[in-house]
């Protein structure tokens, strides 16, 4: 066997070091690439799983870890599909590369809710248009009838008028929800608004002894009178319904006014029953009361926002709604 010269040995050692350095650089590059891929996968808003051929998890992000039970329900399919899990809706996509399968699940619950709301809004708007004409005719005929009936029957006609008024409010709310809220602002006074609110209370009707305590001072606002009338009427009729469902034979509806030079601030309180589910308060077509259609508070918030303000449930010693209208 030929002996290796010192020079050849030195060259071999140098080549070994070079190969080792290249291997370490390649290893570091691979680790950097893997770290980058993991960070990209983690950055994605949907749940991502990359599976080995035996279905063991090769890589996943934190969203996927939170939904590890969902993974058991997923299947590899050529087409996208939807799946329900824990009252949420997910859009599932899948693909394969060599011996790896990638699955992704995107939460589309909010998107589907909006689609359903849009469909419900369109249906409700169509029905409202259909109902509006006969309701107008009933209202006109009841006004004529009230002038002609004997005095003993006037209360019956007035009950008809109150029922028609309620239906008319529902129609207006539904059409406004489907079209969107736009405020036509003018200078109005609280006394003008209060007069309209008092009229709506008279038409709404109630059986208990209810005291209404509204602001006594007169002040002006730059606002849409019709929209604010609807906003306050929504809160007051909700308050009346809450008192009607309460065990007490009387009740109080109170509006307290203040301003901080940026907003007109109204706090609306009633002595009726407590709110059942606060999370569903501002959900369209979801009502926390028996009579509700689920649009009153949604529209009230939209009306306040159209005036640069807001609506929220306010808690101090007692729960009330706080309405802000920008000055």
For residues 201 and 315, state if they share a domain: yes
Owner of token pair 């996968």? 41
Q: What token pair was written down for 163?
A: 């029922």
Report d(CA 272, CA 238) in Å as an integer: 9
Report yes or no: 95 and 102 within 8 Å, Cβ to Cβ.
yes
In a domain, 8, yes or no: no
pTM assigned to the model: 0.56
Find the CATH number of the domain harbouring 63. 3.30.450.20
In a domain, 52, yes or no: yes
Q: Is the pLDDT of residue 2 over 70?
A: no
In a domain, 3, yes or no: no
Q: State residue 111's pLDDT score.
A: 84
Look at residues 131, 153, 180 and tell me which one is the last residue of a structural domain.
180
For residues 199 and 325, state if they share a domain: yes
Beta carbons within 10 angstroms of residue 74's beta carbon: 21
In a domain, 10, yes or no: no
Instruction: Name which residue leads in pLDDT, 28 or 289.
Output: 28
Instruction: Name which residue leads in pLDDT, 90 or 158.
Output: 90
The domain of 316 spans 182-327
Please compute the mean of the pLDDT values over residues 26-55 and round it to a whole number: 77
Max CA pair span of the chain: 134
Q: State residue 266's pLDDT score.
A: 93
Q: Is the pLDDT of residue 32 over 80?
A: no
Q: State residue 320's pLDDT score.
A: 82
Report yes or no: 76 and 96 within 8 Å, Cβ to Cβ.
yes
- CB hemisphere CA count around 75 (13 angstroms): 6
For residues 238 and 318, state if they share a domain: yes
Q: What token pair was written down for 181?
A: 């809220």
For residues 221 and 317, state if they share a domain: yes
Per-residue pLDDT band for 122 (boundaries 50, 70, 90) equals: confident
For residues 275 and 198, state if they share a domain: yes
Nearest CA-CA partner of 191 in 159, 229, 222, 219: 219
Q: What token pair was written down for 5?
A: 């010269």
Look at residues 107, 140, 158 and tell me which one is the last residue of a structural domain.
107
Q: State residue 177's pLDDT score.
A: 66
Question: What are the CA-CA distances from residue 93 to residues 104, 105, 118, 176 (Å)?
Answer: 5, 7, 26, 38
Look at residues 84, 107, 130 and tell me which one is the last residue of a structural domain.
107
Q: Which residues pair with 51 in a beta bridge?
A: 57, 101
In a domain, 54, yes or no: yes
Percent of the chain whose pLDDT exceeds 90: 8
H or E element, residue 148: helix 109-148
Average pLDDT, the chain: 81
The pLDDT tens digits for 195-235 are: 888 888 887 777 888 899 998 888 898 988 888 988 898 88
The pLDDT tens digits for 164-183 are: 777 777 777 766 666 667 78
Find the CATH number of the domain harbouring 145. 1.10.287
Instruction: Name which residue leads in pLDDT, 235 or 7.
Output: 235
How many folded domains does the chain comprise? 3
Nearest CA-CA partner of 67 in 55, 52, 80, 84: 84
Q: State residue 105's pLDDT score.
A: 92
For residues 142 and 232, state if they share a domain: no
Report d(CA 1, CA 226) in Å as an integer: 107
H or E element, residue 35: helix 6-43
The pLDDT tens digits for 244-289 are: 888 888 889 999 899 888 999 999 998 888 777 666 676 665 555 5
Percent of the chain whose pLDDT exceeds 70: 85
Please compute the mean of the pLDDT values over residues 55-79 and round it to a whole number: 87
Q: State residue 292's pLDDT score.
A: 54
Find the CATH number of the domain harbouring 259. 3.30.565.10
Q: State residue 90's pLDDT score.
A: 92
Q: Which residues pair with 94 in a beta bridge?
A: 103
Nearest CA-CA partner of 73 in 105, 42, 29: 105
In a domain, 17, yes or no: no
Please compute the mean of the pLDDT values over residues 47-73 and round it to a whole number: 88
In a domain, 9, yes or no: no
For residues 197 and 321, state if they share a domain: yes
Is the torsion defined by CA of 214, 215, 218, 220 positive or negative?
negative
For residues 168 and 192, state if they share a domain: no
Owner of token pair 């405020």? 183
For residues 192 and 175, state if they share a domain: no
For residues 114 and 230, state if they share a domain: no
In a domain, 326, yes or no: yes
For residues 203 and 176, state if they share a domain: no
For residues 229 and 316, state if they share a domain: yes
Report d(CA 78, CA 266) in Å as an integer: 56
Owner of token pair 């770290």? 35
Report yes or no: 103 and 74 within 8 Å, Cβ to Cβ.
yes
């Amino acid at each position: 066997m030929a002996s290796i010269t010192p020079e050849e040995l030195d060259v071999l050692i140098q080549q070994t070091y070079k190969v080792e350095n290249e291997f370490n650089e390649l290893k570091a590059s691979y680790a950097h690439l893997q770290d980058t891929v993991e960070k990209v996968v983690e950055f994605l808003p949907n749940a991502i799983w990359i599976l080995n051929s035996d279905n063991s998890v090769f890589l996943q992000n934190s969203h996927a870890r939170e939904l590890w039970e969902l993974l058991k329900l997923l299947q590899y399919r050529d087409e996208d599909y939807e799946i329900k899990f824990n009252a949420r809706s997910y859009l599932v996509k899948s693909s394969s590369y060599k011996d790896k399968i990638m699955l992704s699940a995107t939460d589309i619950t909010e998107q589907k809710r909006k689609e359903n709301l849009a469909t419900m809004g369109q249906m409700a708007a169509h029905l409202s248009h259909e109902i509006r004409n006969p309701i107008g005719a009933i209202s006109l005929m009841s006004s004529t009838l009230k002038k002609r009936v004997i005095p003993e029957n006037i209360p019956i006609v007035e009950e008809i008028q109150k029922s028609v008024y309620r239906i008319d409010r529902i129609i207006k709310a539904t059409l406004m929800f489907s079209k969107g809220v736009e405020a036509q602002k003018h200078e109005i006074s609280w006394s003008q608004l209060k007069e309209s609110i008092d009229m709506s209370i008279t038409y709404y009707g109630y059986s208990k002894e209810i005291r209404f305590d509204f602001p006594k001072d007169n002040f002006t606002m730059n606002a849409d009178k019709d929209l604010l009338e609807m906003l306050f009427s929504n809160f007051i009729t909700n308050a009346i319904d809450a008192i009607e469902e309460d065990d007490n034979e009387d009740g109080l509806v109170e509006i307290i006014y203040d301003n901080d030079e940026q907003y007109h601030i109204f706090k609306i309180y009633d002595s009726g029953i407590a709110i059942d589910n606060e999370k569903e308060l501002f959900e369209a077509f979801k009502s926390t009361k028996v009579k509700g259609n689920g649009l009153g508070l949604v529209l009230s918030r939209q009306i306040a926002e159209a005036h640069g303000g807001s609506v929220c449930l306010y808690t101090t010693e007692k729960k009330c709604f706080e309405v802000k209208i920008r000055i």
